[in-house]
């Protein structure tokens, strides 16, 4: 069942019922100011950091769901309604929500009145615009009221939710209402250097800034007493819960329409301002707010800002686009994959409807992987991001697992010890260099532990990343897993040596014995990149030594990491096998199958094909590939968090979407295009839109996890948006299935597609030039390029050498066979 449809022309998903199975959200903002907005106008805003600089309040896990947002109430006679349905939930005569690239448009119609709300964050600004257009579609004059409403958050979202003894006494507002001045500003500020402004470009008929006054004692935002009584109270908040509400009395003749521009902005006083003082002392410097508001004080200016935002996205998505006979493939590649990649760039795993914005900052491994999906879009920001991440690395090559976006400093509460982390830095650096050809990043002076006095060039960071694995090998010569590898929940050092002493139940530690075959796969895969980078730098001895270490690791995996039909997952502290046919549960895991095949370990010996066949045989389901089988049926303290999940959820045999593309990529490595395609489409949002009632999360983006076949709710997804799946599926489909893959010296063209596909065309920007690629598959093969013609000249092999200069249009014709 569907709750909407794609509008490919406008790059929008159009939701036609407010009663989606879960809130279906969008992200506004591409730079520093961000908002989350659901299909019923729920959500919140923050500046740079969802934890520390939260502008508006949101109540997670609330009842009813998703019942706080940036709302507009219409009081028309006895009827109170909202253009996005919530929070009044008044039945609308028609409802539509269009989630587009960085903007959302809500259109509600009720009793002959149409209200259209367009929400977006303009480029280069620190505010959200809510453009509200009201149109009388009836044949009678209409007199009605509009009330805006936002509930401010007292900045630090964690403190705001927990520290009431303090924060019930910190809220202050300043109000500036003036007919001539046109603006009504409701400003909340902490006694710091920043404040929020909420304004409308019209003179108002009243306002409220105190929540209880607006809602009424024991009131709810579904029917605020001010709205019910159609009269603002002009309340001035002092402590408690400051809100912002404007009252506009509107009269519309039949057919007439009016537009208002509301602005919710973040403002900093100039740094030399005195910060300390009371609001009445006039310490707030209104000049920067006035300047911000002046940029958007007319409909024309707001429309121009929206047009600029759309142009920005058109340009960005113009870097890579395709045209094929598969409509769904085209819409995912051209729009939604890349859009989700940008959102993960901005948010890492911090703020979604499943991540509270206070728990996690930027993940080291997460952000490195996200980069694989957006480096082609914004290479300069990717470069900056890589160096930011590297600066949180420790001198021994290990890394803080997370850092806070505002301070860019490592999160000491979480610390380090995830032994895959260092290798992801090599993955990110390699992707950046392949995309840009910019080796100068290797020379950048980059601190350790955010301490500028401890810095080396970035190349040395990569060296320490690579050596970290070599310096932490376990009893079989496989990499020590540490607290966990990619699988956060496989905590194999939760052991106790003392009989009778209770096991550590959470908070995994490190240890010398537990080993990871997955990290071994990563080491081989990204080690090869490290070798190439060394060679480019002329470090031949180092490259040779590294190459030997990689070959040794390949041997080790084949000796100690192969279980007969698939790659083992790990060894635990007691040197017991994990992910082996010998195990009671958890006999086979997906991760090492994906990465060891991608790394081509034992390919010539037939291991890769066998591993892929085992995945298909043991882990496949109609909704995707589960993480392991059989699920852990009982709790194993010595394995850590993994078995704390019920069978079929999360890392305990859920369909963890993130590593499905690893399998799809691995299938392309062994040339099985039909299977790579099947794996890709099974979890791909556009391909499963028809089962939205089962899947439940947004049909335009990936979710982290889909309940596996062992769970009662098989097929139900959770944790949409912020997942490494975004980058990996885009990588899978663009670089491995369609096969357009940047490499150190040029652009490789190596499609691995279903044999039913006739071919496709693609436009790919690469190092400043635009490649117009036509792939033909007359023999209906799954893989193999027999002819490559670049600008009329036939080329040997399947790599288009990078060209000097920029601005060229290059025509590429590819024949498969």
What are phi and psi for residue 310, nearest 5 degrees?
Answer: -65, -40
Quote the CA–CA distance of 360 and 352 in Å, as a whole number: 11
Q: Is the dihedral of CA 441, 443, 445, 446 positive or negative?
A: positive
Shortest Å distance, C-beta 641 to ligand BGC: 6
Q: How far apart are the first and last CA of the chain?
A: 40
Of 554 and 651, nearer to ligand BGC (C-beta) is 651
Shortest Å distance, C-beta 418 to ligand BGC: 10
# chain residues binding ligand BGC, by CB under 6 A: 5
Of 104 and 398, nearer to ligand BGC (C-beta) is 398
Distances (CA, A) of 60 to 49, 153, 214, 221: 17, 13, 22, 16
SS3 190: coil
Out of ligand BGC, ligand NOJ, none, what residue 554 binds, judged by CB under 5 to 8 A for its kind, is: none
Per-residue binder mask for ligand NOJ (CB under 6 A), 402-431, x = binder: ------------------------------
Task: By CB under 6 A, name the one of 12, 651, 689, 750 that touches ligand BGC.
Answer: 651
Quote the CA–CA distance of 598 and 600 in Å, as a whole number: 5
Shortest Å distance, C-beta 344 to ligand NOJ: 10
Q: What is the DSSP annotation of 573-619?
A: TT--EESSTTSSS--EEHHHHHHHHHTTTTTTTTHHHHHHHHIIIII
Q: How many other C-beta atoms lie within 10 A of the C-beta of residue 59?
A: 14
Task: By CB under 6 A, name the one of 297, 421, 485, 488 that touches ligand BGC.
Answer: 488
Of 350 and 734, nearer to ligand NOJ (C-beta) is 350
Rounded (5°) CA angle 730-734-735: 110
Contacts of 699 (CB under 8 A, 6+ apart): 2, 3, 4, 13, 685, 686, 688, 689, 692
Of 66 and 651, nearer to ligand BGC (C-beta) is 651
For 690, which DSSP code?
A: G
Tokens 């050809």, located at residue: 437
SS3 281: helix
Q: Give bridge partners of residue 554 from the DSSP assignment.
A: none
Taking CB positions, which residue lies at the least distance from ligand NOJ?
488
Shortest Å distance, C-beta 33 to ligand NOJ: 24
Count of helices and strands (H, E) across the chain = 20, 42
- Selecting among 420, 488, 563, 732, the annotated active-site residue is 488
Shortest Å distance, C-beta 656 to ligand NOJ: 6
Out of ligand BGC, ligand NOJ, none, what residue 365 binds, judged by CB under 5 to 8 A for its kind, is: ligand NOJ
Residues 594 to 623: which contact ligand NOJ by CB under 6 A? none
Shortest Å distance, C-beta 490 to ligand NOJ: 8
b or e along 135-161 (b: 16 or more beta carbons within 10 Å of the residue's beta carbon)? bbeeeeebebbbbbbbbbbbbbbebbb
Quote the CA–CA distance of 71 and 108 in Å, as a whole number: 13
The yes-or-no answer on residue 488 being catalytic is yes
Tokens 């992910």, located at residue: 579
Tell whether residue 400 is a contact of ligand NOJ (CB under 6 A).
no
Tell whether residue 569 is a contact of ligand NOJ (CB under 6 A).
no
Shortest Å distance, C-beta 814 to ligand BGC: 39
DSSP H or E segment with residue 135: strand 127-136
Residues 331 to 350: which contact ligand BGC by CB under 6 A? none
Shortest Å distance, C-beta 627 to ligand NOJ: 9
Rounded (5°) CA angle 223-228-234: 100
Contacts of 96 (CB under 8 A, 6+ apart): 14, 15, 16, 105, 106, 107
# chain residues binding ligand NOJ, by CB under 6 A: 9
Of 252 and 726, nearer to ligand NOJ (C-beta) is 726
Q: How many residues appear in the chain?
A: 817
Region label for 245, one of left (φ > 0), alpha (ψ between -120 and 50) or beta (otherwise): beta
Out of ligand NOJ, ligand BGC, none, what residue 486 binds, judged by CB under 5 to 8 A for its kind, is: ligand NOJ
**Alpha helix (H) residue ranges in 238-392:** 287-294, 299-317, 327-331, 337-347, 364-374, 379-390
Quote the CA–CA distance of 784 and 660 in Å, as a whole number: 23
Taking contact as CB under 6 A, which single stretch among the options 168-176, 220-228, 464-472, 485-493 is the one that binds ligand NOJ? Answer: 485-493
Per-residue binder mask for ligand NOJ (CB under 6 A), 330-349, x = binder: -------------------x
Of 75 and 349, nearer to ligand BGC (C-beta) is 349
Of 650 and 767, nearer to ligand NOJ (C-beta) is 650
Per-residue binder mask for ligand BGC (CB under 6 A), 296-315, x = binder: --------------------
Contacts of 431 (CB under 8 A, 6+ apart): 371, 372, 375
Out of ligand BGC, ligand NOJ, none, what residue 363 binds, judged by CB under 5 to 8 A for its kind, is: ligand NOJ
Would strands 809-816 and 769-776 be described as parallel, antiparallel, or unpaired?
parallel
Of 100 and 647, nearer to ligand NOJ (C-beta) is 647
Of 82 and 487, nearer to ligand NOJ (C-beta) is 487
Q: How many other C-beta atoms lie within 10 A of the C-beta of residue 205?
A: 17
Shortest Å distance, C-beta 514 to ligand BGC: 18
SS3 801: strand
Per-residue binder mask for ligand NOJ (CB under 6 A), 349-368, x = binder: x-------------x-xx--
Of 239 and 359, nearer to ligand BGC (C-beta) is 359
Task: By CB under 6 A, name the one of 49, 76, 174, 651 that touches ligand NOJ.
Answer: 651
Taking contact as CB under 6 A, which single stretch among the options 93-101, 308-316, 482-490, 573-581 is the one that binds ligand NOJ? Answer: 482-490
Cβ atoms of 322 and 738 within 8 Å: the answer is: yes
SS3 567: strand
Shortest Å distance, C-beta 702 to ligand NOJ: 13
Out of ligand NOJ, ligand BGC, none, what residue 487 binds, judged by CB under 5 to 8 A for its kind, is: ligand NOJ
Quote the CA–CA distance of 624 and 137 in Å, as a whole number: 47
Taking CB positions, which residue lies at the least distance from ligand BGC?
488
Quote the CA–CA distance of 1 and 17 in Å, as a whole number: 12
Task: By CB under 6 A, name the one of 650, 658, 675, 695 that touches ligand BGC.
Answer: 650
Task: By CB under 6 A, name the one of 20, 156, 245, 487 that touches ligand NOJ.
Answer: 487
Shortest Å distance, C-beta 632 to ligand NOJ: 15
Of 151 and 485, nearer to ligand BGC (C-beta) is 485
Region label for 221, one of left (φ > 0), alpha (ψ between -120 and 50) or beta (otherwise): alpha
Tell whether residue 488 is a contact of ligand NOJ (CB under 6 A).
yes
Would strands 142-155 and 173-177 be described as parallel, antiparallel, or unpaired?
unpaired
Shortest Å distance, C-beta 651 to ligand BGC: 6
Residues 269 to 298: which contact ligand BGC by CB under 6 A? none
Of 455 and 489, nearer to ligand BGC (C-beta) is 489
Residues 5 to 24: which contact ligand NOJ by CB under 6 A? none
Taking contact as CB under 6 A, which single stretch among the options 26-34, 204-212, 402-410, 481-489 is the one that binds ligand NOJ? Answer: 481-489
Task: By CB under 6 A, name the one of 489, 691, 748, 789 that touches ligand BGC.
Answer: 489
Of 183 and 518, nearer to ligand NOJ (C-beta) is 518
Shortest Å distance, C-beta 767 to ligand BGC: 35
Contact residues toward ligand NOJ (CB under 6 A) are: 349, 363, 365-366, 486-489, 651
Contact residues toward ligand BGC (CB under 6 A) are: 488-489, 641, 650-651
Residues designated catalytic: 488
């Amino acid at each position: 069942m569907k709750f909407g449809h794609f509008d490919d022309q406008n790059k929008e998903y159009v939701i036609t019922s407010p009663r989606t199975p879960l809130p279906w959200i969008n992200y506004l903002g591409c730079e520093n100011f961000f908002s989350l907005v659901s299909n019923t106008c729920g959500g919140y805003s923050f500046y740079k950091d969802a934890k520390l600089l939260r502008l508006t309040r949101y109540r997670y896990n609330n009842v009813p769901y998703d019942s706080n947002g940036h709302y507009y109430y219409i009081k028309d006679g006895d009827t109170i309604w909202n253009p996005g349905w919530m929070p009044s939930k008044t039945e609308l005569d028609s409802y539509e929500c269009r989630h587009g690239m960085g903007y959302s448009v809500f259109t509600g119609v009720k009793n002959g009145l149409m209200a259209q709300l367009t929400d977006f964050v303009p480029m280069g600004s620190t505010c959200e615009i809510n453009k509200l257009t009201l149109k009388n579609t009836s044949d009678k004059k209409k007199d009605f009221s509009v009330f805006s409403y936002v509930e401010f958050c007292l900045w630090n979202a964690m403190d705001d939710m927990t520290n009431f003894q303090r924060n019930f006494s910190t809220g202050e507002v300043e109000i500036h209402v003036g007919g001539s001045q046109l603006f009504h500003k409701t400003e909340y500020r902490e006694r710091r250097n920043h404040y929020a402004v909420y304004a409308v470009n019209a003179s108002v008929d009243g306002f409220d800034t105190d929540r209880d006054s607006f809602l009424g004692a024991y009131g709810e935002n579904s029917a605020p007493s001010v709205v019910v009584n159609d009269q603002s109270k002009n309340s001035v908040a002092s402590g408690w819960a400051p809100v912002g509400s404007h009252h506009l009395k509107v009269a519309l003749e039949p057919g007439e329409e009016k537009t208002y521009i509301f602005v919710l902005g973040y403002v900093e006083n100039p740094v030399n301002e005195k910060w300390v003082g009371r609001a009445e002392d006039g310490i707030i410097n209104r000049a920067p707010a006035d300047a911000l508001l002046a940029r958007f004080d007319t409909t024309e200016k707001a429309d121009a800002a929206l047009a600029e935002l759309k142009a920005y996205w058109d340009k960005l998505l113009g870097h890579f686009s395709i045209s094929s006979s598969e409509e769904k493939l085209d819409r995912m590649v051209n729009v939604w994959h890349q859009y989700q990649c940008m959102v993960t760039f901005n948010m890492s795993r911090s703020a979604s409807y499943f991540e509270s914005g206070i728990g996690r900052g930027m993940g080291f491994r997460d952000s490195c992987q996200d980069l694989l999906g957006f480096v082609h879009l914004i290479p300069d920001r990717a470069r900056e991001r890589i160096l930011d991440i590297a600066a949180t690395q420790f001198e021994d090559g290990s890394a803080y697992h997370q850092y806070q976006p505002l301070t860019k400093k490592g999160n000491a509460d979480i610390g380090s010890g995830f032994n895959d982390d260092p290798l992801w830095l090599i993955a990110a650096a390699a992707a950046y260099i392949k995309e840009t050809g910019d080796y100068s990043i290797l020379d950048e002076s980059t601190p350790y532990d955010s301490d500028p006095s401890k810095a080396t060039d970035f190349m040395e960071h990569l060296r320490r990343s690579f050596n970290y694995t070599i310096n932490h090998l376990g009893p079989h010569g496989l990499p020590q897993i540490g607290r966990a590898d990619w699988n956060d929940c496989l905590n194999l050092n939760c052991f106790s040596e003392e009989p009778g002493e209770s096991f550590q139940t959470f908070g995994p530690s490190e240890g010398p014995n537990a080993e990871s075959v997955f990290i071994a796969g990563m080491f081989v895969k990204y080690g090869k990149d490290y070798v190439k980078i060394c060679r480019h730098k002329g470090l031949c001895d180092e490259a040779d030594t590294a190459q030997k270490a990689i070959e040794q690791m390949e041997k080790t995996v084949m000796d100690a990491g192969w279980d007969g039909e698939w790659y083992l997952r790990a060894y635990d502290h007691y040197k017991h096998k994990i992910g082996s046919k010998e195990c009671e549960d958890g006999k086979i895991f997906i991760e090492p199958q994906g990465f060891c095949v991608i790394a081509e370990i034992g390919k010539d010996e037939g291991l890769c094909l066998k591993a892929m066949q085992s995945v298909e045989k043991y882990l496949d389901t109609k909704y995707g590939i589960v993480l392991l089988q059989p699920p852990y049926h009982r709790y194993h303290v010595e394995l850590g968090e993994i078995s704390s999940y019920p069978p079929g959820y999360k890392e305990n045999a859920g369909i963890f979407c993130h590593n499905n593309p690893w399998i799809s990529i691995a299938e392309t490595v062994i040339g099985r295009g039909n299977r790579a395609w099947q794996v890709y489409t099974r979890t791909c949002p556009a391909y499963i839109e028809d089962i939205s009632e089962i899947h439940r999360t947004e049909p335009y983006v990936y979710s982290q996890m889909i309940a596996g076949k062992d769970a009662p709710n098989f097929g139900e997804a959770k944790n949409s948006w912020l997942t490494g799946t975004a980058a990996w599926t885009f990588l899978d489909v663009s670089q491995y299935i369609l096969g357009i893959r940047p490499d150190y010296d040029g652009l490789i063209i190596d499609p691995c597609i279903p044999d039913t596909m006739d071919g496709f065309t693609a436009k790919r920007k690469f190092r400043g030039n635009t490649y117009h690629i036509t792939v033909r598959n007359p023999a209906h093969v799954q893989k193999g390029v027999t002819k490559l013609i670049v600008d009329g000249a036939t080329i040997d092999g399947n790599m288009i050498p990078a060209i000097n200069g920029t601005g060229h249009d290059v025509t590429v014709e590819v024949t498969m066979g």
